[in-house]
Structure 1
Amino acid sequence: MGICYSSSGKRKPGWEGGDDKAADSKFKKTSSGDFATFISKLSGGGGGAAAASAAIVSEERGLHQIPGRLFSNGASRIASLYTQQGKKGTNQDAMIFWENFYMGGDLNATFCGVFDGHGPYGHMVARKVRDSLPILIRSHWENKDEAEENHEHSENGDLEGMRRFDDFMDEDGCESLEVEADEAEKVPEVHIPLKKSILKAFKLMDKELKLHPTIDCFCSGSTAVALIKQGEDIIIGNVGDSRAVLATRDKDNTLTAVQLTVDLKPNLPREAARIQKCKGRVFALQDEPEVARVWLPNSDSPGLAMARAFGDFCLKDFGLISKPDVYHHSITDRDKFVILATDGVWDVLSNKEAVDIVASAPGRGTAARALVDCATRAWRLKYPTSKNDDCAAVCLFLEEVLLVGNVPENEKKVPEEEEVTNKASPELPQETVNNMKECDDEIVPVVEEKSIDKSIGQSKRSLAECLSTAEDEEWSALEGITRVNSLLSLPRFLPFDKRSTSWRKWL
């Protein structure tokens, strides 16, 4: 969590900081017309602060009922989500996975993201961005289609639209100073409309937070890394220091990690230059010289550890912006999965370590939990005197799961041993065949027993043995049994008259 160094304060009364209720993980088919009507009601409208405040509860209830939308610990056939509260208070991390995300008639798109809140009301900011940002992106994507239809018969329609878009994005002085020389290389021309929709959505998301009637975002904010998968293309918008990492195989078929985003921190030269041009200050404290922070011109506050964020309006006039960096990636056959995680994971695990943990998980449903659990343990080892940060992770798998019922008939091959048995069984007596099966059954436990003994002797245990049900539990079940046996094996020093009878109890 990129916390504000000096941020402190009481949370609003009545707010419960517990995890959201579990979402329904069963995916149902929804007609595009009904879904579009439902989403348009959520993103349609305004009416002032009073109307927005009255619609918050009903809007959240409607979002939680959308099929294929996960926002709490859970999993689907292609994704896994998990978050765990740290030792600093309320869990300020939020996450989302939205399958069949409606994008202009395309129900095959997928949206997922992680959001790391900071400040007194960071948990509220992160959840608000989680709920509103996908709808804003979808809304501006549809408005883009309508704008193209309105200007298709006009010679200067495209130029006029681009001029108005540039004017809209340059309303704030600090954002107009942002120069991205390699911006054209990040996103192909065919995806420029989607990139503009993401930029507009991030811009309006920040303005919506500024006018929100119940969330104080003056010294509270959130990061965001949002991913949209359309067909074989991935578009990512990033604000802050959360990160997206791709797991892919190289020419040697070795699983490697490719970082898809850049952590937008104040130590980057272009970020520091923009902040200093806007009269903000960038420096690190003596007790943590490796962490650059953003400070007000005439005050040693708030000390924000990121250069871009939603909210934090105390710094918006001094170089902090909410404009995202937008990235594109074309999916290949070698790409396996994408990890989206907050800095609570990346502060203690490298990209390669995170990829290896997810790849070695027992199944897709436990991949995100395995990653967060390993990050929590790494916090205890690397920073034993510090409080571990909140952790949130979303694992999006790029390979479809092949169901048994969908396997073609020509691919359903009978195992070689089974073919030999079937050929030999007609020539052998039935009693001999039964004896062979019994022998096979007798051999199986011996093999399993050897494999178990081997795993116990190894230093690297399986994930199921490493995971602990209790938060402070440090031993696995096997270690606990070994400890009990050791205690029972200790010699008993009893009076001489009782020694002769006590040993019989252990026979």
Structure 2
Amino acid sequence: MGCCVSTSSRSSCSNRSHSEAASPSCFCGQKRTKRTFSDHVIALQHLPSVPNRIFTNGKSRTSCIFTQQGRKGINQDAMIVWEDFMPEDVTFCGVFDGHGPHGHLVARKVRDALPLKLLSSMHSHQSRQNGSGRTCFKGNSKKSDGGDSEKDGSAEDRLNSLWREAFMKSYKAMDKELRSHPNLDCFCSGSTAVTIVKQGSNLYMGYIGDSRAIMGSKDSNDSMVAIQLTVDLKPDLPREAERIKRCKGRVFALQDEPEVPRVWLPFDDAPGLAMARAFGDFCLKEYGVISIPEFSHRVLTERDQFIVLASDGVWDVLSNEEVVDIVSSAPSRSSAARILVDSAAREWKLKYPTSKMDDCAVVCLFLDGKMDSESDYEEQGFSSATLQSNHSGNAVESDDGQKSEPSLQRNFTVRSAEESDSYGRPPPEFEGNVDTVSGEDQNWSGLEGVTRVNSLVQLPRFSEERPNP
């Protein structure tokens, strides 16, 4: 099933379209054209009209998403599911957790721009390879006996390398755009990212920060098991800590939260970033915090049931196994994300009644491509108006700050020693290839039961005594 996107036409040529004719300037998986990706540029202002792209609470054909604000101010989490991301059965999913005074704007900016950069990278590479600009990306290689199996294997390796390069380039371009953004100050604000591309039976993943992706799969006894797909890139991971220290950054935890390692400037006890990689946070980019993603590839099997992407507000209070149990036992698939967020909220209150609950964002992608009926969806408390707004793209949230500069009022993502207990609600350069995830790091789980309340401790206080780096 394909999808048509054009700056001059907002029609869809998917199989579900009724009387609309396909735009001549669109690309479609059913009928390939010889136009290049430059003919189908998607501007940010046109994203809300793109079909099969959801980014607010709701569901799609194969997934459901839900987010809930914590008790630290404005919700800084963002999420997206983009079905028909490309022809040949490609779906893009992502969760982004912002931090700092402008973290919510950074997360939304990354949510909107990063998929486009990934899409552009894939199309430009394909154009260079075949010279025709065809958007043909095969996600399933049909293996056969004899010499064809070697060809299929090499084709799969080339596709894997192609996606790796696309993730690396798009993440680099995203961070570069944030650095030069005219209306968005990312000096002490940033965002994590956990992004996946499902192409047929192949799963490609790129991620930075401490948001996480897991998969629910059935073992040989048909029991549900949890498989962690990504690594929480925290500052005390040995290779992350080594890089940060090599760049003169410091890694240590505060006395009142010894479970939370943080990144600090060499000359100031700030900002105390609780992750080793992030978009933005340019005050720390010279001192070891990078935006180069980890990349991995997995071939899905029939035993794999669903994938869950979530921000650390979920993982701080729920284990991988608990998340899989909650999603697999949900009364309907369309309610799974909401029930998971509700469960995390209850755990926050039970485990840490004196702590400020973090924002939570969840994406549940069901790998068999099936979803509940409309009646089941409405029974779970989602109105048809919400469903319609998600499919039509009429978002209820504000833009990413293009038109107005956000206020610098405290939103309780940044904490100082003088912070009160009341809850306010005011409105590196890329070098080389990223090492593959080692077996040792694969077993590195996120902190269970963290009392952390902020991703940043405080803004840096630059003075005349600041040494030259």
Q: Give the structure-2-normalised TM-score.
A: 0.67
Counterpart contact for 1:238–1:261, Cα < 8 Å? yes
* Pair 1:252-2:236 in alignment: no
Alpha-carbon shift at residue 340 of structure 1 (Å): 0.3
Q: How does 1:388-407 map to 2 (within 5 A)?
A: 388-401=357-370
Q: How does 1:38-77 map to 2 (within 5 A)?
A: 40=38, 59-77=43-61
State the partner residue of 2:423: none
State the partner residue of 1:268: 237
State the partner residue of 1:318: 287
Give the distance between the partners of 2:256 and 2:45, measured in 1 at CA. 45
Give the distance between the partners of 1:38 and 1:124, measured in 2 at CA. 31
Note closer, same or farther for the CA distance 1:32–1:235 as it changes in structure 2 (3 Å cut): farther
Give the distance between the partners of 2:173 and 2:116, measured in 1 at CA. 11
Note closer, same or farther for the CA distance 1:77–1:269 as it changes in structure 2 (3 Å cut): same
Give the distance between the partners of 2:23 and 2:167, measured in 1 at CA. 22
SS of the residue corresponding to residue 165 of structure 2 reads helix
State the partner residue of 2:76: 92
State the partner residue of 1:127: 108
Alpha-carbon shift at residue 144 of structure 1 (Å): 1.1
Give the distance between the partners of 2:324 and 2:23, measured in 1 at CA. 35
Alpha-carbon shift at residue 395 of structure 1 (Å): 0.2
SS of the residue corresponding to residue 214 of structure 1 reads coil
Alpha-carbon shift at residue 110 of structure 1 (Å): 0.3
Q: How does 1:379-390 map to 2 (within 5 A)?
A: 379-390=348-359
Alpha-carbon shift at residue 147 of structure 1 (Å): 2.6
Point out where structure 1 has 5 or more consecutive residues left out of the alignment.
Answer: 1-23, 45-58, 151-186, 405-462, 466-507
Counterpart contact for 2:337–2:364, Cα < 8 Å? yes
SS of the residue corresponding to residue 295 of structure 1 reads strand
Q: Which residue identity lines up with residue 124 of structure 1 in the other structure?
A: L
Aligned CA RMSD, in angstroms, stands at 2.6
Counterpart contact for 2:88–2:199, Cα < 8 Å? no
Alpha-carbon shift at residue 364 of structure 1 (Å): 1.2
Note closer, same or farther for the CA distance 1:132–1:27 as it changes in structure 2 (3 Å cut): farther
Give the distance between the partners of 2:268 and 2:320, measured in 1 at CA. 36
Counterpart contact for 1:342–1:392, Cα < 8 Å? yes
Q: Percent identity?
A: 55
Q: Which residue identity lines up with residue 301 of structure 1 in the other structure?
A: A
SS of the residue corresponding to residue 308 of structure 1 reads coil
State the partner residue of 1:8: none
* Pair 1:193-2:162 in alignment: yes
Counterpart contact for 1:308–1:323, Cα < 8 Å? yes
State the partner residue of 1:291: 260
Deviations 1:357-409 (A, max 9, x none): 011111111010000010011100011000100000000000133999xxxxx
Alpha-carbon shift at residue 329 of structure 1 (Å): 1.1
Q: How does 1:99-498 map to 2 (within 5 A)?
A: 99-102=83-86, 106-149=87-130, 188-401=157-370
SS of the residue corresponding to residue 89 of structure 2 reads strand
Q: Which residue identity lines up with residue 200 of structure 1 in the other structure?
A: K
Point out where structure 2 has 5 or more consecutive residues left out of the alignment.
Answer: 1-11, 28-34, 132-155, 374-378, 382-469
Q: Which runs of 4 or more aligned residues in structure 1 lie more than 6 Å from their structure 2 counterparts after TM superposition?
A: none
Note closer, same or farther for the CA distance 1:62–1:402 as it changes in structure 2 (3 Å cut): closer
Counterpart contact for 1:100–1:109, Cα < 8 Å? yes
Note closer, same or farther for the CA distance 1:77–1:149 as it changes in structure 2 (3 Å cut): closer
Give the distance between the partners of 1:229 and 1:71, measured in 2 at CA. 17
State the partner residue of 2:62: 78
Give the distance between the partners of 1:69 and 1:288, measured in 2 at CA. 39
Counterpart contact for 1:43–1:136, Cα < 8 Å? no
Q: Which residue identity lines up with residue 323 of structure 2 in the other structure?
A: A
Larger Rg: 1
Note closer, same or farther for the CA distance 1:130–1:32 as it changes in structure 2 (3 Å cut): farther
Counterpart contact for 1:137–1:197, Cα < 8 Å? yes
Alpha-carbon shift at residue 464 of structure 1 (Å): 7.5
Give the distance between the partners of 2:251 and 2:329, measured in 1 at CA. 40
The alignment of Structure 1 onto Structure 2 pairs a total of residues equal to 331
> More helix by proportion, 1 or 2?
1
Alpha-carbon shift at residue 244 of structure 1 (Å): 0.4
State the partner residue of 2:152: none
